[in-house]
Amino acid sequence: MAEMIKPHGSDTLNPLFISDDAKRAATLEEAKSLPSIMLSSASAANAVMLGGGYFNPLTGFMNKADALSVADNMHTASGLFWPTPVLNLVEDAGDIKAGDRIALKDPNVDGNPILAVMNVEAVEEFSDDDMATMTKQVYATNDPEHPGVAAFNGQGKVCLSGPVEVLNYSYFETDFGDTFRTAVQIRDEIGKRGWSKVVAFQTRNPMHRAHEELCHMAMERLNADGLVIHMLLGKLKKGDIPADVRDDAIRTMVKHYFPENSAMVTGYGFDMLYAGPREAVLHAVFRQNMGATHLIVGRDHAGVGDYYGDFDAQTIFHDIKDGELDIEIFEADHTAYSKKLNKVVMMREAPDHSKEDFVLLSGTAVREMLGKGMAPPKEFSRPEVAKILMDYYQGLDS
């Protein structure tokens, strides 16, 4: 069997979840008597990603020097390639100081159980200028209306850094038991299936026909063994479709339109950053960690509003030096159904077409149709998928 792609930055994956049951129980017991802080939702999601091995080879939360360096040039102070700061930011650290061992409480689960234990190596504060500079470098804007910028700057400026041991996977494992998978589990499953060339598809939305066909195209052109549809299960912006509805829609599409054993439907526990190009690179890093050899990056990948150019999330990869990232990018254009050719095509590959030759619908138009109980045209959305979404949107109005 072909060898699997190595994780980022190490020969083997080093997840920070305590997998030994006895040790985990003992650590949880110890944690009850430790000083504790409440995590922000973003920091809790970072802990879940560290726990699952997605953020390999990081051993915990970054310090100030690493965060500023990563924001500035996509490398930590010691030279590790990394695209976005992975921080534990709080408004006020109280009496916590370097050398303390502390419990990190989960803000997203009732009763705020302990999510992880941390050995604090430093307690540092970012200045307003630091925060503004990092925000601009990572998000390409300081606009407080940008949902990622608002979330990043709403946590506080005090940074607690140091290694963590993760005790559970927050609400992701309980609420999305069939879908949430760690990088370790996905790697194992890829190995079991004997896949070596593996395409990852990132989604925070249900998949319309164009997305489905894009996955087929990538698999065919790359001669891939399998596809991992990997959906974000964490916090989104207002108006986005909830994860359980997306999950149902995607599973239904795979069941009807993908050959058996060709696609895995999985999800990961992280809050969307909406950081466009930088987030696309982060997506590539953790897809490499889970065993994918290729990531589909489409138009305005991980973007929001019109903060990023259509293909900025592809061109950022052109500046990454050889050896810094092993996963490869499948660059996709906007895909749409061609009335001329009676199939879904990448628009740049249909030069003799005008806009009228494609079935193009805005997200708003589709939502309105679904809300009225009207299925979008079959060229746009599979009927089985449209039904699930119609039921959801009509439920909102009732």
- Where in the sequence of the chain do the CATH 3.40.50.620 domains occur? 179-397
Among residues 24, 101, 193, 204, the one annotated as catalytic is 204
Question: Does the active-site annotation cover 193?
Answer: no
Question: Does the active-site annotation cover 205?
Answer: yes
H or E element that contains 383: helix 383-397
Among residues 24, 101, 205, 367, the one annotated as catalytic is 205
- Where in the sequence of the chain do the CATH 3.10.400.10 domains occur? 21-173
Q: What is the CATH number of domain 179-397?
A: 3.40.50.620
Q: What is the pLDDT along the chain (398 residues), one digit of tens a residue?
A: 568 999 999 999 999 999 999 999 999 999 999 999 999 999 999 999 999 999 999 999 999 999 999 999 999 999 999 999 999 999 999 999 999 999 999 999 999 999 999 999 999 999 999 999 999 999 999 999 999 999 999 999 999 999 999 999 999 999 999 999 999 999 999 999 999 999 999 998 889 899 999 999 999 999 999 999 999 998 777 777 888 899 999 999 999 999 999 999 999 999 999 999 999 999 999 999 999 999 999 989 999 999 999 999 999 999 999 999 999 999 999 899 999 999 999 999 999 999 999 998 887 888 889 889 999 999 999 999 999 999 999 888 66
Q: What are the Cα distances from residue 268, in Å, to 3, 280, 370?
A: 24, 15, 27
- Separation between Cα atoms, residue 112 and residue 101, nearest integer Å: 18
Q: What is the DSSP string of 273-320?
A: ---THHHHHHHHHHHHHTT-SEEEE-TTTT--TTSS-TTHHHHGGGGS
Tell me which residue of 101, 66, 100 sits closest to 85, measured CA to CA. 66
The owner of tokens 């419990």 is: 103
Q: What is the CATH number of domain 21-173?
A: 3.10.400.10
